[in-house]
Amino acid sequence: MNRLDFLGLPSQDPNRVISFPASQSLHASTASAALGNKTVSTGLPQLDEAVTPPIEDDLQGFGDLQSKGLPCGHVTEIFGPPGAGKTAIALHTAATALAKGETVVWIDTGPPLPRRQLNRLLAAQQQPNQSDPSIQAKNLIHIHTPTLPHLLSLIHHPPPNFPPPSTTLLVVDSISAPFPPYFPNPSDQRAALSASSQVHDKAHIQWLVNRKWNVLSDLATQLAKLASTAGGGGGGNMAVLVTNQTHTRIRGQVRATLCPVVAGSAAWESCVFTRMVVYQDFVKSEGEGEGGWGKGRVVEVMKRGGRVVRGRVVGDTVVGFGVSEDGLYALDTPSPPQAERPEQIVVEASSTQNPEASASQRKRKAEEIADSQDEEDSEGEFGWIQGEEVDAGSLDGN
What is the CATH classification number for the domain harbouring 108?
Answer: 3.40.50.300
Most confident of 22-36, 96-110, 191-205, 252-266: 96-110
Please give the pLDDT value at position 133.
Answer: 67
Between 233 and 154, the more confident residue is 154
Instruction: Tell me if 12 is assigned to some domain.
Output: no
pLDDT of amino acid 203: 76
Q: Which helix (H) or strand (E) holds 258?
A: strand 257-260
Quick check: 196 and 189 in contact, CB under 8 A?
no
- Identify whether 373 is part of a domain: no
- pLDDT band of residue 73 (cuts 50, 70, 90) is very high
**pLDDT at 63 exceeding the cut of 70:** no
Residues 6+ apart with CB under 8 A from 141: 103, 104, 105, 106, 163, 164, 167
Q: Are 250 and 46 in contact (CB under 8 A)?
A: no
**pLDDT in the model for residue 160:** 87
Residues 166-192: tens digit of each pLDDT: 899 999 998 999 998 888 776 776 677
Name which of 351, 265, 259, 249 is nearest 75 in CA terms: 265
Average pLDDT, the chain: 74
H-state helical runs in the chain: 3-6, 22-36, 45-51, 86-99, 115-124, 133-137, 148-156, 179-182, 186-195, 202-229, 266-271, 355-362, 378-381, 392-395
pLDDT of residue 344: 46
Average pLDDT of the segment spanning 142-159: 93
Asked whether residue 205 is assigned to any structural domain, the reply reads yes
C-alpha–C-alpha distance, residues 98 and 139, integer Å: 7
| φ and ψ of 44, to 5 deg | -110, 110
Closest CA to 170 of 96, 112, 226: 226
Are the CB atoms for 38 and 72 separated by under 8 Å? yes
Instruction: Note whether residue 100 is domain-resident.
Output: yes
Q: 309-315: long-range contacts at Cβ-Cβ below 8 A with a sequence spacing of 24 or more?
A: 315/46
**Residue 113's closest CA among 66, 63, 171, 64?**
171
- Choice among 14-18, 148-152, 281-285, 297-301 with the minimum mean pLDDT: 14-18
> Has residue 30 been placed in a domain?
no
Quote the number of domains for the chain.
1
pLDDT of residue 336: 44
Q: How far apart are CA 97 and CA 82, in angstroms?
A: 25
Q: Bridge-partner residues for 203, per DSSP?
A: none
Amino acid 177: pLDDT: 92
Instruction: Please check whether residue 231 lies inside any domain of the structure.
Output: yes
Please provide residue 38's backbone torsions phi and psi, each rounded to the nearest 5 degrees: -90, 145
Helices 186-195 and 202-229: crossing angle, nearest 10°? Answer: 140
Residue 299 lies in a domain: yes
User: Stretch 23-41: mean pLDDT, rounded?
Assistant: 57
**CA neighbor of 72 nearest in space, from 274, 243, 300:** 274
Is the whole model's pTM more than 0.75, yes or no?
no
In angstroms, the CA 204 to CA 122 distance is 52
Q: Which residues span the domain enclosing 50?
A: 41-361
Residue 264 lies in a domain: yes
